Structure 1
Amino acid sequence: MQKNFKHVNYLWDEKKAAQFGDDQVALFLYRSNILGADLRITNYGGGNTSCKTIEKDPLTNEDVEVMWIKGSGGDIGTLTKAGIAGLYTERLRDLKNVYGGLEDEDRMVGLFNHCIYDLNSKAPSIDTPLHGLLPFKHIDHLHPDALIAVAAAKDSEQVTKEIWGDTMGWVPWQRPGFDLGLQLEKCLNDNPGIRGIVLGSHGLFTWGDTSYESYINSLEVIEMASEYIEKKIKEKGSVFGGQKLQSLPKEERLEKASQLMPMLRGLCSSEARMIGHFNDNDIVLEFINSNDLERLAPMGTSCPDHFLRTKIQPLVLDLKTDEDLSDTDAILKKLQPSFQKYRQEYKDYYDTCKKSNSPAIRDANPVIIIYPGVGMFSFAKNKQTTRVANEFYINAINVMRGAEAISAYTSLPRQEAFDIEYWLLEEAKLQRMPKEKPLSRRVAFITGAGGGIGKAIADKLAEEGANVVLSDIAEDRLQEAVDTYARDVASYAVCDVTKNESITEAYKKACLEFGGIDIIVHSAGLAISKPLTETTDADWDILQNVLVKGQFELAKQGVTILRKQGLGGDIINIASKNGLVSGPNNVGYGTAKAAQQHMSRLLAAELAADKIRVNVVNPDGVIVGSKIWEGDWAEGRAKAYGISVEELPAHYAKRNLLNEIIYPADIANGVFALVGILDKSTGNIINVDGGMANAFVR
């Protein structure tokens, strides 16, 4: 069998597959994972795979056929046993006896539960009958770009015949459900011996007697379609009508994107706060700079999996590549009518297509936004969702590219698209989603986050749902820190808070990564403990520069971004008990910490009109896990109290009223209280010190 492919990745590893022996479910999961690893084959959450095995019926002890299939809402690339459903195949086929036609589709989905064999099953998906009514042991339902291009071409059936002859079936567009399963069954009965079926405007069904045969069959069919499209593109000489304009150079694109993203984020967040993603790869640029953009973009996408994540069509910005984006008010004034028009058109689409039982209209803001010459933005409820939407629109671009090369691209009629987008079963799936965490949809920028208190703060905010951007001067520490988070949660930016340009670059990265910022935490710091006469100018300057000037510049630049978004925000400064208490050998550090505290009060008063809250957390005696205790500070404090360094933890614990050791995680809880709970507090100081009477603020 063929193992060398140009347009798809052959990832089957014989040694790894051999480890599963004759475990057909394990081999089906392995096949699913390697198919899902290639975005040209299917994107996150797209497609479905299955296998059928013979099992013992626990009630009769007789052999029965069981179909194992990806459950509702799953992803084949990351599929595990916990994510599949196991159903009696014959019971599923017996549902043909009670099926009442297209109006009965939603009821049928509920009946799938009566076919469950494995009581640990995930909820069966709407694709279940499409697999169950076909006889094959292993089946792949995929959404390859090349196949959807064939499926979305205006003469799709004829093109299918041209590419595969009599070896492939073709079924016209129909919404997934029991009746589509019947259509696939009929297609196979009418065309015995075919290797697969093309679903009009939708995707591909292929199969095999073994997991490997199904895998190879899928790859070969996709490769044939890809080669056909490649040949057509060469014959045509150009795609998308050729290029209408040139892209800006890479650095200029990123600069424009970082300036614009907070403004776009604010506009897209008129109903609920959104997280952003930016893409300017070659595929995107070829499309958005083309002569055909104005014709193709409004047509919308063809595959249901695409528009469910991207909305029916993108918003194309009326901005020139040489536009000056520094004047926020002027740019927002120019952008607002486009967003208003998009929202109204989406409302009109809803009002025109809705039915008496349709769910309420959803957020009318665009998901995909195109800036010709610069790139493509996406905005959704979290980073994974917006990244995946971005990837799906790239799939849609590839589909348009292929269909246009073949003949002409066709999209789903608006009513068909609406019926899927507002399908009651789709709404039920949305309602089953877990409740969002308190800091979901928010982006936190934390300085000093390579370890110690800063990392603990980042951990806590991420745990509560925020995206976090860790900054520090040590890249190795940052890389190690970011690796502790799941994908799409965290990023990092090397940042020296004593240098304005370093802060600028760090904020730029945060905007490019997540669309903007909502929470700024200044945790970067150092401590120097010396008597007055031993404190040098260098000691004084570095304390002022890191703790005070750094805080000032972080706030100054950060507020510019927060105002672009118009969503309010939080600034939390990590100061110290030493800013309130007069202690020995502490003139430089204590003065800087007092300056941090009073600057925070001043900013709280100034920024309240923008709904930007500024608060302070005062730690004390955080020895375990704190970076400042790795240097000379410990020796200085031990000397000041007349004890040894080893005695410091016990000394600090005993001197607070609660006799508690204070950890970095305790400081992180203080930050979370201010940004996640106390949403009407500003100008406040929270002491996290176990209770120090001489540091009480009132």
Structure 2
Amino acid sequence: MSVSASTNFKHVSYLWDEAKAAALAGDEVALLIYRSNLLGADLRLTNYGGGNTSCKAMAKDPLTGESTEVMWVKGSGGDLGTLKRNGLAALYVDRLRSLTNVYRGVAYEDEMVELFNHCIFDLASRAPSIDTPLHGFLPFKHIDHLHPDAAIAIAAAKDGKQITQELFKGKIGWVEWQRPGFDLGLKLKQCLDENPGIRGIMLGSHGLFTWGDTAYESYINTLEVIEACAEYLEKNYGKKRPVFGGAQMIASPKEVRLKQAAALAPVLRGLCSGTTHMVGHFTDDDRVLEFINSNDLDRLAPLGTSCPDHFLRTKISPLVISLQPDEDLEDAKAVRAKLVPEFEAYRKMYADYYNACKHPNSPAMRDANPVVILYRGIGMFTFAKDKQTARVAAEFYINAINVMKGAEAISEYTSLPRQEAFNIEYWLLEEAKLQRMPKPKALSGRVALVTGSAGGIGKAIARKFADEGACVIINDNDADRLAAAKADLDQYYSKDVFATALLDVTSMEAITNAYNVTSLAFGGVDIVVNCAGLSISKPLEDHTENDWDLLYNVLVKGQFMVTQQGVKVMRKQGTGGDVINIVSKNALVSGPNNAGYGSAKAAQMHLSRLNAAELGADHIRVNVVNPDAVIADSKIWAGAWAEGRAKAYGIKVEELPAYYAKRTLLNQIILPEDIANACFVFVGGLLNKSTGNVMNVDGGVATAFVR
């Protein structure tokens, strides 16, 4: 196959680096991975986790020592952008093709997947996906199967086959929609046999197959075909009629969109969390706004998506809510009352869809709540079991919007028939894949805001919660300290695990902003940990009024205001929650030079009891962890405080850790991680019926025993 020497593309990214490719020369599998990563890096070419690529090359058979043809293909559950060698399945080509001898027809597709295992060449490779035969029956050395928006727009158009024929002058074949599997692989081979010399095949409503004799030829061929599709769409936008029928309304200003989204997200999250805690994602991407503000929204949205990869992650169709962009969202109960009937109608629609399409052996109906929620003038919310899944669902629905836009520009958009969609969504092989997924961690689906979490105890708590599956908001009143914490956490966690906010707990404006960040990033909050603090140790006569006010503003007023606003969000969700207050053994023990700090800590503790008594009806638990002498990574122990405590005890500053350990029953130094573990005990699921408790983590200080 000859390919164009042009590398000038407008609608796709040409990322091939000749030097990097040259270093991989002779290793076809390495070149496959390189090509796959380049393709996966451009979301216009394929979405996260979607598509698959392959190469065929000769290898030494470990059983016979003879040279044999092997196909390496992206395995089940992988992603092209991050694909590595261990994400490939390696199969004997001759064995795979010999399965035609035992294939019993479309009704027996699923049994073929088990037979793929008899074709495995590399026993350490990834399990083969259902798309394996789609690559196996084509003779080309390198093959790309992608889900580019531009190509699917043509594939999902009413006249898609005719448009493909005219656009590519017969050089791209066409295979009608069919669920991926062994028979579709045979259909691809038949299409090639009947159309020798074609450079690719369009799959109706599904995607695109392209190929080449080398990794580079396949790559450039893929880009050129997608570029041609995109150029064709661009020339036709607005030519037949305005895009999406023109604008029905103008999007609200950015600041209004974010304010409305932050106010509404917890309400939506609560309504979506009927069976499990969901995590949210919000976007007001321009492509979303163009669609949701259009005249065609009410016609197109109910149709659902066309590509299986899209609706597997977005559900059969989105929920378009009726709230106005300028709706007053302050009264959460009134807003919830308006939305409940719309959610009930959606759940009924989904149940009707399930019941009308199910088979005798279909898996039980899954969560009937929407994944995608569209709010005219404001933006799109998505909710799923974790942040990554919610974010990816949003990306997929933007793909679907692009497809609808393109298909409507050149013809008429068509979605998959409901039965075909159901057969994909509730495919037993998909169900088996879901069952193989790791069980959720203890805090999966939970969102936590831990004040003062840029260092010390707060950071340890945030990391513990993140390790247990929670999404966390890292915050501090010191911008430099917060930036350093973010840089540190970026080494361990993705953007789907944590977000940051500058937070001064003495400022209601800053507190409100932090919760808005939380709601926009993750949909709401489930766990609030009041950890921000400071200490001032002075004799009574040296204590100033400013010292007193600062202690009470940060420790007592700060705890009160952060809890107050957190409870407001939790009540919007209606799913309960946890408040943990990091207090101190000083709330219970009297000591010298500690009038301000100790009394403020006592106030924090009793405020916790008062909150526990009041919030029980909302299923919001309030508990206390009492640390003592946690010195590591804490600003409290820097400077004057440590000097003051050392002076009070008549010892040197460097002797403080050992001094504190020796005065405990266990003779142990207390670390931030010890406090984090105690917090996890309260929220990890085993103490869901406990509130108003005090847990001492001080190594055993008898005078601090609660009695």
TM-score by length of 2: 0.98
State the match for 2:507 in structure 1. 499
Gaps of 5+ in 2: none
Q: Which moved more, 1:92-101 or 1:621-630?
A: 621-630
Which residue, out of 678, 693, 697, partners 1:684? 693
Task: State how far apart, in whole Å, the 2-side matches of 1:683 and 1:19 are.
Answer: 64
The question of 1:398 aligning with 2:402 is answered: yes
Structure 1 Cα separation of the partners of residues 395 and 678 of structure 2: 38
Q: Provide the residue aligned with 1:145 in structure 2.
A: 149
**Contact 2:38–2:81 at 8 Å: present in 1 too?**
yes
Q: Which runs of 5+ in 1 are unaligned?
A: none
Please give the residue correspondences for 1:151-300 in structure 2 after superposition, counting only pairs within 5 Å. 151-236=155-240, 238-300=242-304
3-state SS, counterpart of residue 414 of structure 2:
coil
Shifted more, 124-133 versus 229-238: the winner is: 229-238
Q: Once the 2 structures are TM-superposed, how far is the Cα of residue 490 of structure 1 from its aligned partner?
A: 0.4
Distance in 2 (alpha carbons) for counterparts of 1:91 and 1:538 = 81
Q: Aligned pair 1:353/2:361, yes or no?
A: no
2:478 is matched with which residue? 474
Aligned counterparts of 2:705 and 2:595: Cα–Cα separation in 1: 20
Question: What is the CA–CA distance in structure 2 between the aligned matches of 1:334 and 1:453, rounded to whole Å?
Answer: 42
Shift in Å at residue 238 of structure 1?
Answer: 2.2
Give the Å deviation of 1:24. Answer: 1.0
Q: Which letter does structure 1 place at the counterpart of 2:396?
A: F
- 2:704 alignment partner in structure 1: 695
Instruction: Pick the aligned partner of 2:652 from 644, 655, 661.
Output: 644
Tell me the C-alpha RMSD between the 2 structures. 0.8
Alpha-carbon offset, residue 629 of structure 1: 1.1
Q: Distance in 2 between matches of 1:21 and 1:158?
A: 40
Residues of 1 paired with 2:106 and 2:484: CA distance? 54
Q: Which amino acid aligns with 1:383?
A: K
**Residues 452 and 531, structure 2, Cα contact 8 Å, conserved in 1:** yes
What is the CA distance between 1:475 and its match in structure 2? 2.4
1:111-165 superposed Cα distances (whole Å, 9 cap, x missing partner): 0000000011111000000001111111100000000000000011100011111
Match of 1:430 in 2: 434
Offset from partner CA, 1:229-271 (integer Å, 9 cap, x none): 0001152362000000111000000000000000000000111
Tell which deviates more after alignment, 675-684 or 359-368. Answer: 675-684
Q: How does 1:70-81 map to 2 (within 5 A)?
A: 70-81=74-85
User: Tell me, what secondary structure is at the counterpart of 1:166?
Assistant: coil
Specify the alignment match of 1:541 in structure 2.
549
| Alpha-carbon offset, residue 272 of structure 1 | 1.2
CA distance in 2, matches of 1:348, 1:693: 63
1:672 is matched with 680
Native 8 Å contact 2:241 2:409 kept in 1:
no
Select the residue among 454, 458, 465 that pairs with 2:458. Answer: 454
Cα shift readout 1:494-544 (whole Å, capped 9, x = no counterpart): 010001111000000000000000000011111110011101111111110
Provide the secondary structure at the position in 2 that maps to 1:653. Answer: helix
Looking at structure 2, the residues matched to 265 and 198 of structure 1 have their Cα atoms a distance apart, in angstroms, of 39
Give the SS at the match of 1:53. Answer: strand
What's the CA shift for 1:625? 2.3
* C-alpha distance in 2 between matches for 1:245 and 1:389: 25
Q: 1:678, CA displacement in angstroms?
A: 1.9
The structural deviation recorded for 1:84 is: 1.0
Residue 299 of structure 1, CA deviation: 0.5
Indicate whether 1:570 and 2:578 are aligned. Answer: yes
Identity of aligned residues (%): 69
Which deviates more, 398-407 or 17-26?
17-26
Map 1:323-362 onto structure 2 (within 5 A): 323-362=327-366
Instruction: Give the whole-Å Cα distance in 2 for the aligned partners of 1:129 and 1:180.
Output: 8
Q: Which SS does the other structure have where 2:524 is aligned?
A: coil
Contact kept in structure 1, 2:448 and 2:525, CA below 8 Å: yes
Q: Following the alignment from structure 2 to structure 1, what is the Cα–Cα distance between the partners of residues 482 and 121? A: 48
**Superposition deviation, residue 82 in structure 1:** 1.4
1:532 to 524, 533, 540: 540
3-state secondary structure, aligned to 2:144: strand
Correspondence for 1:378 among 382, 388, 393: 382
> Which residue of structure 2 aligns with residue 623 of structure 1?
631
Given residue 580 of structure 2, which amino acid in structure 1 is its aligned partner? Answer: I
DSSP 3-state at the match of 2:365: coil
Structure 1 residue 586 and structure 2 residue 594: aligned? Answer: yes
* TM-score, scaled relative to structure 1: 0.99
Residue equivalent to 1:440: 444
SS at match of 1:112: helix
What is the CA deviation profile of residues 181-223 of structure 1, one whole-angstrom value per residue up to 9, with x for unaligned ones? 0000000111111110000000000011111111111000000
1:19 alignment counterpart: 23
Shift of 1:386: 0.3
Offset at 1:19? 2.5
Structure 2 partner of 1:611: 619
The letter for the 2-side match of 1:541 is D
- 234 and 329 in structure 1: CA distance in 2 versus 1, 3 angstrom threshold: closer
Q: Secondary structure at the match of 2:239?
A: helix
How far apart in 2 are the matches of 1:689 and 1:17? 58
Structure-2 residue corresponding to 1:302: 306
1:424-478: CA deviations, max 9, x gaps? 0000000000010000000000110111111000000000010001111122322
CA distance in 2, matches of 1:195, 1:378: 37
CA distance in 1, matches of 2:22, 2:485: 37
Q: CA deviation at 1:74?
A: 0.8
CA distance in 2, matches of 1:653, 1:73: 50
Q: Deviations over 1:327-366 (max 9, x none)?
A: 1111111000000000001000000000100000000000
Matches within 5 A, 1:94-109: 94-109=98-113
CA distance in structure 2 between the aligned counterparts of 1:343 and 1:563, rounded to whole angstroms = 23
Shift of 1:172: 0.4
Letter in 2 for 1:339: F
Q: Deviations over 1:39-74 (max 9, x none)?
A: 111111110011111110000000011111111111
Cα distance in 2 for residues equivalent to 1:522 and 1:413: 51
Q: How far 1:585 moved relative to its partner?
A: 0.4
Map Cα deviations across residues 648-681 of structure 1 (whole Å, 9 max, x no partner): 1111111111111110000100110111132221
Aligned partner of 1:413 in structure 2 is 417
* 8 Å contact from structure 1 (residues 625, 663) kept in 2: no
- Measure how far apart 1:631 and its partner are: 2.8
1:594 corresponds to which letter in structure 2?
A
Name the count of aligned residue pairs: 698
Distance 1:487 1:42, change over 3 A: same
| Partners of 1:462 and 1:119 in 2: CA distance | 34
